Amino acid sequence: MQLKHFECDTVCGFMVQGYDRDEIYKIATDHVKKSHASANITDEMVQGLITTIETEPESK
């Protein structure tokens, strides 16, 4: 599975991850709009901050 991971800068420390890419993107854009309104972070920059982590399917 592909885990999506968004991490803000280290000063801010905001981080979110999950399997729903759209949800992570929404939370991330929401966060930068609320917390970094003056930083002019574009949607493209947010997308650039979202990384994909390959995870092993859980075996039973």
* Closest C-alpha to 1, from 60, 54, 58: 54
Q: If binding is defined by CB under 5 A, does position 12 make contact with Zn ion?
A: yes
The least distance separating Zn ion from the CB of residue 57, rounded to whole angstroms, comes to 31
The least distance separating Zn ion from the CB of residue 13, rounded to whole angstroms, comes to 7
Please state, in angstroms and rounded to a whole number, the distance separating the CA atoms of residues 42 and 47: 9
Our CB check for Zn ion shows the closer of 1 and 37 to be 37
Q: If binding is defined by CB under 5 A, does position 8 make contact with Zn ion?
A: yes
Three-state DSSP class for 49? helix
Q: For residues 6 and 16, is the Cβ–Cβ distance under 8 A?
A: yes
User: Which residues contribute to the site for Zn ion (CB under 5 A)?
Assistant: 8, 12, 14, 35
